[in-house]
Amino acid sequence: MMRQLARGWKNWNQPSLMRRLLVAQMAVVALLWTSAVGLLLYDSYKDPGLLRFTSIFKAAISIAQKLEDQPERQREALEAFDAALIEALSDGDETTEALAVMQVWQRGKLIYNSRAGVPVLLNSVPDRNETVVAGGREWRARTMASPIADTRVVLAEPSVWRLAVTVLSRGYYLLPLVISLPFLVFPAWLSVRLALRPWRQVSRETAERGPDDLTPLSYTPPHKELKPMVQSINSLLLRVRDSTTRERSLIADAAHELRTPLAAMRVNVEALKEQSSDEGQRELMANLLRSNDRAARLVGQLLQLMRSDAVATNALPVMLSLDGLVQDRLAMIEGLARARGVELELVCDDAVPVLGERESLVSMIDNLIDNAIKYSPCGATVTVHVAREGARALLTVADTGPGIPPALRERVFDRFFRNPDQTQSGSGLGLAIVKSVVDRHGGDAVLGEAPGGGLLATVRLPLAQADVPQPLLVGA
Protein backbone atom coordinates (compact mmCIF):
# COMPACT_ATOMS: atom_id res chain seq x y z
CA MET A 1 0.00 0.00 0.00
CA MET A 2 2.77 2.43 0.95
CA ARG A 3 4.65 1.54 -2.20
CA GLN A 4 1.59 2.30 -4.32
CA LEU A 5 1.13 5.62 -2.52
CA ALA A 6 4.79 6.46 -3.05
CA ARG A 7 4.53 5.56 -6.75
CA GLY A 8 1.36 7.63 -7.10
CA TRP A 9 2.98 10.62 -5.39
CA LYS A 10 6.03 10.28 -7.62
CA ASN A 11 3.85 10.25 -10.74
CA TRP A 12 1.88 13.27 -9.51
CA ASN A 13 5.03 15.15 -8.47
CA GLN A 14 6.61 14.59 -11.87
CA PRO A 15 6.21 17.65 -14.15
CA SER A 16 3.40 17.12 -16.65
CA LEU A 17 2.55 19.18 -19.70
CA MET A 18 -1.06 17.92 -19.55
CA ARG A 19 -1.43 19.05 -15.93
CA ARG A 20 0.22 22.36 -16.78
CA LEU A 21 -2.29 23.02 -19.57
CA LEU A 22 -5.23 22.02 -17.36
CA VAL A 23 -4.09 24.34 -14.59
CA ALA A 24 -3.65 27.10 -17.16
CA GLN A 25 -7.21 26.60 -18.44
CA MET A 26 -8.63 26.59 -14.92
CA ALA A 27 -6.62 29.73 -14.13
CA VAL A 28 -8.02 31.44 -17.23
CA VAL A 29 -11.58 30.55 -16.16
CA ALA A 30 -10.93 31.91 -12.66
CA LEU A 31 -9.37 35.07 -14.12
CA LEU A 32 -12.33 35.63 -16.43
CA TRP A 33 -14.78 35.15 -13.56
CA THR A 34 -12.76 37.49 -11.36
CA SER A 35 -12.77 40.09 -14.14
CA ALA A 36 -16.54 39.73 -14.51
CA VAL A 37 -17.04 40.22 -10.76
CA GLY A 38 -14.69 43.20 -10.86
CA LEU A 39 -16.67 44.78 -13.69
CA LEU A 40 -19.86 44.15 -11.72
CA LEU A 41 -18.40 45.91 -8.68
CA TYR A 42 -17.18 48.81 -10.80
CA ASP A 43 -20.54 49.18 -12.50
CA SER A 44 -22.27 49.06 -9.12
CA TYR A 45 -19.95 51.77 -7.85
CA LYS A 46 -20.50 54.06 -10.82
CA ASP A 47 -24.24 53.51 -11.07
CA PRO A 48 -25.78 51.73 -8.05
CA GLY A 49 -28.92 49.80 -8.95
CA LEU A 50 -31.32 51.45 -6.48
CA LEU A 51 -30.14 54.98 -7.20
CA ARG A 52 -30.81 54.83 -10.91
CA PHE A 53 -34.62 54.48 -10.54
CA THR A 54 -36.08 58.00 -10.46
CA SER A 55 -39.59 56.64 -9.95
CA ILE A 56 -38.62 55.44 -6.44
CA PHE A 57 -37.70 58.99 -5.46
CA LYS A 58 -40.90 60.38 -6.95
CA ALA A 59 -43.03 57.77 -5.13
CA ALA A 60 -41.43 58.61 -1.76
CA ILE A 61 -41.86 62.36 -2.39
CA SER A 62 -45.52 61.85 -3.29
CA ILE A 63 -46.21 59.86 -0.10
CA ALA A 64 -44.54 62.52 2.04
CA GLN A 65 -46.42 65.38 0.41
CA LYS A 66 -49.89 63.82 0.38
CA LEU A 67 -49.75 62.73 4.01
CA GLU A 68 -48.02 65.82 5.34
CA ASP A 69 -50.98 66.69 7.58
CA GLN A 70 -51.18 63.12 8.98
CA PRO A 71 -47.72 62.39 10.46
CA GLU A 72 -48.60 58.95 11.81
CA ARG A 73 -50.02 57.69 8.54
CA GLN A 74 -47.15 59.39 6.68
CA ARG A 75 -44.58 57.45 8.71
CA GLU A 76 -46.49 54.17 8.36
CA ALA A 77 -46.71 54.68 4.58
CA LEU A 78 -42.97 55.44 4.28
CA GLU A 79 -42.10 52.38 6.39
CA ALA A 80 -44.31 50.16 4.20
CA PHE A 81 -42.76 51.64 1.06
CA ASP A 82 -39.25 51.09 2.46
CA ALA A 83 -40.09 47.49 3.39
CA ALA A 84 -41.43 46.89 -0.11
CA LEU A 85 -38.17 48.19 -1.59
CA ILE A 86 -36.10 45.93 0.62
CA GLU A 87 -38.21 42.92 -0.28
CA ALA A 88 -38.11 43.70 -4.00
CA LEU A 89 -34.39 44.47 -4.26
CA SER A 90 -32.97 41.79 -1.96
CA ASP A 91 -33.40 38.08 -1.32
CA GLY A 92 -33.94 38.57 2.39
CA ASP A 93 -30.50 37.30 3.46
CA GLU A 94 -28.56 40.59 3.51
CA THR A 95 -27.22 41.83 6.79
CA THR A 96 -28.30 45.24 8.03
CA GLU A 97 -24.90 46.64 7.06
CA ALA A 98 -25.50 45.80 3.40
CA LEU A 99 -29.02 47.29 3.13
CA ALA A 100 -29.81 50.60 1.45
CA VAL A 101 -30.83 53.63 3.47
CA MET A 102 -33.73 56.00 2.77
CA GLN A 103 -34.01 59.40 4.48
CA VAL A 104 -36.94 61.82 3.88
CA TRP A 105 -36.79 65.54 4.70
CA GLN A 106 -39.75 67.92 4.77
CA ARG A 107 -39.63 71.64 5.52
CA GLY A 108 -36.04 71.25 6.72
CA LYS A 109 -36.89 68.47 9.20
CA LEU A 110 -35.89 64.77 8.99
CA ILE A 111 -39.23 62.97 9.08
CA TYR A 112 -38.04 59.43 8.22
CA ASN A 113 -34.76 57.48 8.53
CA SER A 114 -34.89 53.80 7.62
CA ARG A 115 -31.88 53.01 9.80
CA ALA A 116 -31.62 54.75 13.15
CA GLY A 117 -27.89 54.16 13.41
CA VAL A 118 -27.06 55.90 10.12
CA PRO A 119 -26.24 59.62 10.45
CA VAL A 120 -27.64 62.28 8.17
CA LEU A 121 -26.63 61.88 4.53
CA LEU A 122 -26.48 65.01 2.39
CA ASN A 123 -25.45 65.44 -1.23
CA SER A 124 -23.54 68.52 -2.30
CA VAL A 125 -25.21 68.47 -5.73
CA PRO A 126 -28.87 67.41 -6.00
CA ASP A 127 -29.94 64.60 -8.32
CA ARG A 128 -26.41 63.22 -8.85
CA ASN A 129 -24.68 60.10 -7.56
CA GLU A 130 -21.96 61.02 -5.11
CA THR A 131 -19.72 59.38 -2.54
CA VAL A 132 -20.70 60.63 0.90
CA VAL A 133 -18.74 59.96 4.08
CA ALA A 134 -20.92 59.68 7.17
CA GLY A 135 -20.30 57.89 10.45
CA GLY A 136 -16.84 56.82 9.33
CA ARG A 137 -18.23 54.96 6.29
CA GLU A 138 -18.59 55.64 2.59
CA TRP A 139 -21.96 55.68 0.84
CA ARG A 140 -23.07 56.15 -2.72
CA ALA A 141 -25.97 58.56 -2.33
CA ARG A 142 -28.42 60.49 -4.49
CA THR A 143 -30.84 63.23 -3.42
CA MET A 144 -33.99 64.34 -5.26
CA ALA A 145 -35.93 67.39 -4.07
CA SER A 146 -39.42 68.79 -4.73
CA PRO A 147 -40.27 72.50 -4.29
CA ILE A 148 -43.63 71.57 -2.79
CA ALA A 149 -43.34 71.66 0.99
CA ASP A 150 -39.57 71.62 0.57
CA THR A 151 -39.53 67.78 0.37
CA ARG A 152 -36.27 65.85 -0.22
CA VAL A 153 -35.60 62.12 -0.48
CA VAL A 154 -32.10 60.66 0.00
CA LEU A 155 -31.32 57.10 -1.07
CA ALA A 156 -27.89 55.63 -0.27
CA GLU A 157 -26.19 52.28 -0.70
CA PRO A 158 -22.95 50.99 0.88
CA SER A 159 -19.82 51.82 -1.10
CA VAL A 160 -18.23 49.36 -3.51
CA TRP A 161 -15.94 48.02 -0.73
CA ARG A 162 -18.97 47.11 1.36
CA LEU A 163 -20.47 45.51 -1.74
CA ALA A 164 -17.26 43.56 -2.31
CA VAL A 165 -17.29 42.27 1.25
CA THR A 166 -20.91 41.25 0.77
CA VAL A 167 -20.12 39.47 -2.51
CA LEU A 168 -17.26 37.53 -0.92
CA SER A 169 -19.02 36.73 2.35
CA ARG A 170 -22.20 35.61 0.60
CA GLY A 171 -20.27 33.29 -1.76
CA TYR A 172 -21.26 35.15 -4.93
CA TYR A 173 -17.62 34.98 -6.05
CA LEU A 174 -16.31 31.64 -4.77
CA LEU A 175 -19.44 29.51 -4.97
CA PRO A 176 -19.80 29.62 -8.79
CA LEU A 177 -16.10 28.74 -9.15
CA VAL A 178 -16.34 25.85 -6.69
CA ILE A 179 -19.38 24.50 -8.51
CA SER A 180 -18.24 25.01 -12.09
CA LEU A 181 -14.53 24.14 -12.01
CA PRO A 182 -14.98 20.39 -11.29
CA PHE A 183 -17.38 20.13 -14.22
CA LEU A 184 -14.90 21.95 -16.44
CA VAL A 185 -11.94 19.67 -15.64
CA PHE A 186 -13.04 16.76 -17.84
CA PRO A 187 -13.94 18.89 -20.90
CA ALA A 188 -10.65 20.74 -20.47
CA TRP A 189 -8.72 17.45 -20.13
CA LEU A 190 -10.47 16.02 -23.21
CA SER A 191 -9.81 19.13 -25.28
CA VAL A 192 -6.13 19.17 -24.30
CA ARG A 193 -5.77 15.45 -25.02
CA LEU A 194 -7.37 15.83 -28.45
CA ALA A 195 -5.19 18.84 -29.18
CA LEU A 196 -2.04 16.89 -28.23
CA ARG A 197 -2.74 13.94 -30.56
CA PRO A 198 -0.17 15.08 -33.18
CA TRP A 199 2.41 15.41 -30.40
CA ARG A 200 1.69 11.86 -29.21
CA GLN A 201 1.95 10.54 -32.76
CA VAL A 202 5.42 12.05 -33.13
CA SER A 203 6.40 10.67 -29.71
CA ARG A 204 5.05 7.21 -30.59
CA GLU A 205 6.95 7.04 -33.88
CA THR A 206 10.15 8.21 -32.18
CA ALA A 207 9.77 5.63 -29.39
CA GLU A 208 9.25 2.80 -31.89
CA ARG A 209 12.54 3.53 -33.61
CA GLY A 210 15.45 1.19 -33.10
CA PRO A 211 18.97 2.45 -32.45
CA ASP A 212 19.96 1.76 -36.08
CA ASP A 213 16.94 3.41 -37.72
CA LEU A 214 18.08 6.93 -38.53
CA THR A 215 15.62 7.63 -41.35
CA PRO A 216 13.52 10.82 -41.04
CA LEU A 217 10.17 10.62 -39.27
CA SER A 218 7.39 9.69 -41.68
CA TYR A 219 4.79 11.85 -39.93
CA THR A 220 5.03 15.53 -40.90
CA PRO A 221 2.55 17.56 -38.85
CA PRO A 222 1.05 20.68 -40.47
CA HIS A 223 0.82 22.50 -37.14
CA LYS A 224 3.14 25.49 -36.94
CA GLU A 225 4.00 24.73 -33.30
CA LEU A 226 5.00 21.09 -33.91
CA LYS A 227 6.41 21.29 -37.43
CA PRO A 228 9.71 23.02 -36.45
CA MET A 229 10.39 20.36 -33.79
CA VAL A 230 9.87 17.50 -36.27
CA GLN A 231 12.08 19.26 -38.80
CA SER A 232 14.78 19.64 -36.14
CA ILE A 233 14.51 15.92 -35.25
CA ASN A 234 14.78 14.91 -38.91
CA SER A 235 17.74 17.22 -39.39
CA LEU A 236 19.44 15.70 -36.34
CA LEU A 237 18.77 12.16 -37.58
CA LEU A 238 20.23 13.05 -40.96
CA ARG A 239 23.40 14.50 -39.39
CA VAL A 240 23.80 11.48 -37.10
CA ARG A 241 23.26 9.09 -40.03
CA ASP A 242 25.83 10.90 -42.17
CA SER A 243 28.31 10.95 -39.29
CA THR A 244 27.76 7.24 -38.58
CA THR A 245 28.16 6.39 -42.26
CA ARG A 246 31.44 8.31 -42.45
CA GLU A 247 32.66 6.65 -39.26
CA ARG A 248 31.82 3.16 -40.52
CA SER A 249 33.43 3.87 -43.88
CA LEU A 250 36.57 5.14 -42.18
CA ILE A 251 36.81 2.09 -39.90
CA ALA A 252 36.09 -0.31 -42.75
CA ASP A 253 38.64 1.34 -45.07
CA ALA A 254 41.27 1.46 -42.32
CA ALA A 255 40.71 -2.19 -41.40
CA HIS A 256 40.83 -3.22 -45.04
CA GLU A 257 44.05 -1.31 -45.66
CA LEU A 258 45.65 -2.82 -42.55
CA ARG A 259 45.20 -6.37 -43.79
CA THR A 260 47.88 -6.06 -46.49
CA PRO A 261 50.72 -4.72 -44.29
CA LEU A 262 49.83 -7.21 -41.56
CA ALA A 263 50.00 -10.07 -44.06
CA ALA A 264 53.30 -8.77 -45.45
CA MET A 265 54.69 -8.40 -41.93
CA ARG A 266 53.73 -11.97 -41.11
CA VAL A 267 55.40 -13.33 -44.24
CA ASN A 268 58.62 -11.43 -43.54
CA VAL A 269 58.72 -12.43 -39.86
CA GLU A 270 58.13 -16.09 -40.72
CA ALA A 271 60.94 -15.91 -43.28
CA LEU A 272 63.31 -14.34 -40.75
CA LYS A 273 62.36 -16.92 -38.16
CA GLU A 274 63.15 -19.75 -40.54
CA GLN A 275 66.56 -18.26 -41.38
CA SER A 276 67.54 -17.49 -37.79
CA SER A 277 69.33 -20.08 -35.66
CA ASP A 278 69.40 -17.97 -32.50
CA GLU A 279 66.81 -19.28 -30.05
CA GLY A 280 66.33 -15.88 -28.41
CA GLN A 281 65.59 -14.23 -31.74
CA ARG A 282 63.27 -17.05 -32.75
CA GLU A 283 61.31 -16.62 -29.49
CA LEU A 284 61.01 -12.87 -30.11
CA MET A 285 59.79 -13.54 -33.64
CA ALA A 286 57.26 -16.06 -32.31
CA ASN A 287 55.90 -13.40 -29.97
CA LEU A 288 55.75 -11.00 -32.89
CA LEU A 289 53.78 -13.54 -34.91
CA ARG A 290 51.33 -13.99 -32.05
CA SER A 291 50.86 -10.25 -31.83
CA ASN A 292 50.37 -10.20 -35.59
CA ASP A 293 47.68 -12.86 -35.23
CA ARG A 294 45.85 -10.78 -32.62
CA ALA A 295 46.05 -7.68 -34.81
CA ALA A 296 44.81 -9.59 -37.85
CA ARG A 297 41.95 -11.04 -35.81
CA LEU A 298 40.97 -7.55 -34.59
CA VAL A 299 41.04 -6.21 -38.15
CA GLY A 300 38.91 -9.11 -39.31
CA GLN A 301 36.39 -8.55 -36.53
CA LEU A 302 36.20 -4.85 -37.33
CA LEU A 303 35.43 -5.71 -40.95
CA GLN A 304 32.79 -8.21 -39.83
CA LEU A 305 31.21 -5.63 -37.53
CA MET A 306 31.09 -2.99 -40.25
CA ARG A 307 29.59 -5.48 -42.71
CA SER A 308 26.92 -6.55 -40.20
CA ASP A 309 26.05 -2.89 -39.49
CA ALA A 310 25.91 -2.09 -43.20
CA VAL A 311 23.27 -4.70 -44.04
CA ALA A 312 20.30 -2.85 -45.57
CA THR A 313 17.25 -3.10 -43.39
CA ASN A 314 15.00 -3.28 -46.46
CA ALA A 315 17.02 -5.97 -48.25
CA LEU A 316 15.08 -9.07 -49.22
CA PRO A 317 16.24 -11.93 -46.94
CA VAL A 318 17.24 -15.35 -48.23
CA MET A 319 15.99 -18.63 -46.81
CA LEU A 320 18.93 -20.40 -45.20
CA SER A 321 19.39 -23.72 -43.43
CA LEU A 322 20.77 -22.80 -40.02
CA ASP A 323 21.81 -26.38 -39.30
CA GLY A 324 23.65 -26.54 -42.63
CA LEU A 325 25.47 -23.29 -41.94
CA VAL A 326 26.57 -24.55 -38.52
CA GLN A 327 27.84 -27.84 -39.96
CA ASP A 328 29.86 -26.01 -42.61
CA ARG A 329 31.39 -23.60 -40.10
CA LEU A 330 32.29 -26.43 -37.69
CA ALA A 331 34.09 -28.17 -40.55
CA MET A 332 36.05 -24.98 -41.28
CA ILE A 333 36.95 -24.37 -37.63
CA GLU A 334 37.76 -27.97 -36.74
CA GLY A 335 41.49 -27.47 -37.48
CA LEU A 336 41.67 -24.56 -35.03
CA ALA A 337 39.89 -26.59 -32.36
CA ARG A 338 42.22 -29.57 -32.89
CA ALA A 339 45.25 -27.31 -32.57
CA ARG A 340 43.99 -26.11 -29.19
CA GLY A 341 43.10 -29.62 -28.05
CA VAL A 342 39.36 -28.94 -28.01
CA GLU A 343 36.72 -31.33 -29.35
CA LEU A 344 33.65 -30.03 -31.21
CA GLU A 345 30.31 -31.79 -30.79
CA LEU A 346 27.19 -30.99 -32.85
CA VAL A 347 23.66 -31.92 -31.81
CA CYS A 348 21.23 -31.11 -34.59
CA ASP A 349 17.50 -31.73 -35.03
CA ASP A 350 15.68 -31.74 -38.33
CA ALA A 351 16.12 -28.91 -40.84
CA VAL A 352 15.95 -25.50 -39.20
CA PRO A 353 15.24 -22.87 -41.89
CA VAL A 354 15.67 -19.16 -41.18
CA LEU A 355 15.43 -15.99 -43.23
CA GLY A 356 18.52 -13.86 -43.20
CA GLU A 357 21.75 -12.60 -44.72
CA ARG A 358 24.33 -15.36 -45.11
CA GLU A 359 27.55 -13.49 -44.39
CA SER A 360 26.15 -11.96 -41.21
CA LEU A 361 24.96 -15.32 -39.90
CA VAL A 362 28.34 -16.88 -40.74
CA SER A 363 30.07 -14.12 -38.70
CA MET A 364 27.71 -14.76 -35.79
CA ILE A 365 28.35 -18.53 -35.80
CA ASP A 366 32.12 -18.13 -36.18
CA ASN A 367 32.40 -15.71 -33.28
CA LEU A 368 30.31 -17.88 -30.95
CA ILE A 369 32.35 -21.00 -31.70
CA ASP A 370 35.69 -19.14 -31.71
CA ASN A 371 34.99 -17.72 -28.27
CA ALA A 372 34.00 -21.16 -26.93
CA ILE A 373 37.22 -22.73 -28.31
CA LYS A 374 39.38 -19.86 -27.09
CA TYR A 375 38.23 -19.99 -23.47
CA SER A 376 37.92 -23.79 -23.14
CA PRO A 377 40.81 -25.68 -21.52
CA CYS A 378 42.78 -28.31 -23.41
CA GLY A 379 40.87 -31.58 -23.65
CA ALA A 380 37.47 -29.92 -23.22
CA THR A 381 34.41 -30.32 -25.43
CA VAL A 382 32.42 -27.51 -27.04
CA THR A 383 28.83 -28.55 -27.64
CA VAL A 384 26.81 -26.87 -30.39
CA HIS A 385 23.05 -27.53 -30.49
CA VAL A 386 20.66 -26.50 -33.29
CA ALA A 387 16.93 -27.14 -32.87
CA ARG A 388 13.42 -25.76 -33.27
CA GLU A 389 11.76 -24.09 -30.33
CA GLY A 390 8.18 -23.31 -31.22
CA ALA A 391 8.21 -20.68 -33.94
CA ARG A 392 11.89 -19.91 -33.39
CA ALA A 393 15.23 -21.44 -34.33
CA LEU A 394 17.48 -22.24 -31.37
CA LEU A 395 21.28 -22.19 -31.46
CA THR A 396 23.29 -22.87 -28.29
CA VAL A 397 27.06 -23.05 -27.81
CA ALA A 398 28.30 -24.46 -24.47
CA ASP A 399 31.89 -24.56 -23.28
CA THR A 400 33.67 -25.50 -20.04
CA GLY A 401 35.69 -22.30 -19.66
CA PRO A 402 35.67 -19.80 -16.79
CA GLY A 403 32.35 -18.31 -17.85
CA ILE A 404 31.16 -14.74 -17.30
CA PRO A 405 29.79 -13.38 -14.00
CA PRO A 406 26.02 -12.72 -14.13
CA ALA A 407 26.54 -9.00 -13.51
CA LEU A 408 28.60 -8.69 -16.72
CA ARG A 409 26.55 -10.89 -19.06
CA GLU A 410 24.72 -7.91 -20.56
CA ARG A 411 27.70 -5.59 -20.75
CA VAL A 412 29.91 -8.02 -22.69
CA PHE A 413 27.66 -7.39 -25.71
CA ASP A 414 28.95 -3.81 -25.78
CA ARG A 415 31.70 -3.05 -28.22
CA PHE A 416 35.25 -3.28 -26.85
CA PHE A 417 34.07 -4.32 -23.38
CA ARG A 418 35.84 -7.30 -21.81
CA ASN A 419 35.65 -9.06 -18.47
CA PRO A 420 38.30 -7.37 -16.29
CA ASP A 421 39.18 -10.75 -14.74
CA GLN A 422 39.74 -12.40 -18.12
CA THR A 423 43.31 -13.56 -18.74
CA GLN A 424 42.88 -14.40 -22.44
CA SER A 425 43.66 -11.64 -24.93
CA GLY A 426 40.88 -10.31 -27.13
CA SER A 427 39.33 -7.25 -28.70
CA GLY A 428 35.90 -7.24 -27.07
CA LEU A 429 34.16 -7.31 -30.47
CA GLY A 430 33.12 -10.95 -30.85
CA LEU A 431 29.92 -10.83 -28.81
CA ALA A 432 29.19 -7.31 -30.10
CA ILE A 433 29.13 -8.77 -33.62
CA VAL A 434 26.82 -11.56 -32.43
CA LYS A 435 24.45 -9.05 -30.85
CA SER A 436 24.41 -6.85 -33.94
CA VAL A 437 23.60 -9.76 -36.26
CA VAL A 438 20.92 -11.18 -33.96
CA ASP A 439 19.21 -7.80 -33.57
CA ARG A 440 19.12 -7.28 -37.33
CA HIS A 441 17.47 -10.67 -37.80
CA GLY A 442 14.77 -10.01 -35.18
CA GLY A 443 16.12 -12.47 -32.63
CA ASP A 444 17.68 -12.34 -29.19
CA ALA A 445 20.93 -13.51 -27.61
CA VAL A 446 21.46 -14.32 -23.94
CA LEU A 447 24.34 -15.69 -21.91
CA GLY A 448 24.03 -18.15 -19.06
CA GLU A 449 25.85 -20.88 -17.23
CA ALA A 450 26.43 -24.19 -18.97
CA PRO A 451 25.24 -27.37 -17.16
CA GLY A 452 28.82 -28.52 -16.57
CA GLY A 453 30.17 -25.09 -15.79
CA GLY A 454 31.43 -22.57 -18.29
CA LEU A 455 29.42 -20.31 -20.57
CA LEU A 456 26.20 -21.13 -22.41
CA ALA A 457 25.44 -18.76 -25.32
CA THR A 458 21.84 -19.02 -26.57
CA VAL A 459 20.59 -17.43 -29.80
CA ARG A 460 16.98 -17.48 -30.95
CA LEU A 461 15.97 -16.45 -34.46
CA PRO A 462 12.54 -16.45 -36.17
CA LEU A 463 11.87 -19.63 -38.13
CA ALA A 464 11.19 -19.22 -41.83
CA GLN A 465 7.52 -19.71 -42.65
CA ALA A 466 6.27 -21.96 -45.40
CA ASP A 467 4.58 -19.12 -47.33
CA VAL A 468 7.58 -16.81 -47.62
CA PRO A 469 8.37 -15.64 -51.17
CA GLN A 470 11.95 -17.05 -51.03
CA PRO A 471 11.87 -20.75 -51.99
CA LEU A 472 15.67 -21.11 -52.10
CA LEU A 473 17.18 -23.09 -49.21
CA VAL A 474 20.86 -22.30 -48.90
CA GLY A 475 23.16 -24.15 -46.57
CA ALA A 476 26.58 -22.97 -47.60
pLDDT (tens digit, 9 = 90+) per residue, 207-263? 877 666 778 888 878 877 778 888 888 888 888 888 777 776 666 667 666 766 777
Distance in angstroms (rounded) separating the CA atoms of residues 294 and 428: 12
Greatest mean pLDDT among 171-180, 239-248, 378-387, 420-429 lies in 378-387
3 state SS of 33: helix
pLDDT at residue 183 is higher than 80: no
Sequence letter at residue 252 = A
Task: Work out the average pLDDT over 365-384.
Answer: 87
- How sure is the predictor about 1, in pLDDT bands with cuts at 50, 70 and 90? low
Contact criterion met (CB below 8 Å) for 358 and 321: no
Is the pLDDT higher at 428 or at 125?
A: 125
pLDDT attached to residue 413: 80
Distance in angstroms (rounded) separating the CA atoms of residues 354 and 338: 30
pLDDT at residue 474 is higher than 60: no
pLDDT attached to residue 405: 85
pLDDT at residue 188 is higher than 80: no
- How sure is the predictor about 403, in pLDDT bands with cuts at 50, 70 and 90? confident
Is the pLDDT higher at 1 or at 261?
A: 261
Instruction: Write out pLDDT tens, residues 264-285.
Output: 777 777 888 788 878 888 888 8
Lowest mean pLDDT across 68-72, 119-123, 255-259, 271-275: 255-259
Q: Which pTM value belongs to this model?
A: 0.47
Task: Work out the average pLDDT over 440-452.
Answer: 85
Domain extent listing, the chain:
47-158, 227-303, 316-462
pLDDT at residue 475 is higher than 60: no
3 state SS of 417: coil
Task: Work out the average pLDDT over 34-39.
Answer: 72
Lowest mean pLDDT across 32-46, 72-86, 355-369, 383-397: 32-46
State percent of the chain over pLDDT 70: 75
pLDDT at residue 476 is higher than 60: no
The domains spanning 47-158 and 316-462 adopt the same CATH topology:
no
pLDDT attached to residue 128: 83
pLDDT at residue 8 is higher than 70: no
pLDDT attached to residue 314: 46
Task: Work out the average pLDDT over 419-426.
Answer: 63
Fold category of 47-158 in CATH: Beta-Lactamase (3.30.450)
Lowest mean pLDDT across 75-79, 129-133, 250-254: 250-254
Lowest mean pLDDT across 70-74, 156-160, 263-267: 156-160
| CA-to-CA separations, 124 to 20, 64, 127, 141, 161, in angstroms, rounded | 54, 22, 10, 10, 22
Do strands 109-113 and 101-106 pair parallel, antiparallel, or not at all (unpaired)?
A: antiparallel
pLDDT at residue 176 is higher than 80: no
Do strands 381-389 and 343-348 pair parallel, antiparallel, or not at all (unpaired)?
A: parallel
pLDDT attached to residue 385: 92
- How sure is the predictor about 41, in pLDDT bands with cuts at 50, 70 and 90? low
What is the chain's mean pLDDT, rounded?
Answer: 77
CATH superfamily of 316-462: Histidine kinase-like ATPase, C-terminal domain (3.30.565.10)
3 state SS of 117: coil
Contact criterion met (CB below 8 Å) for 412 and 423: no
Helix (H) or strand (E) holding 291: helix 279-309
Tell me the sheet residues that pair with 52: none
Distance in angstroms (rounded) separating the CA atoms of residues 248 and 415: 14
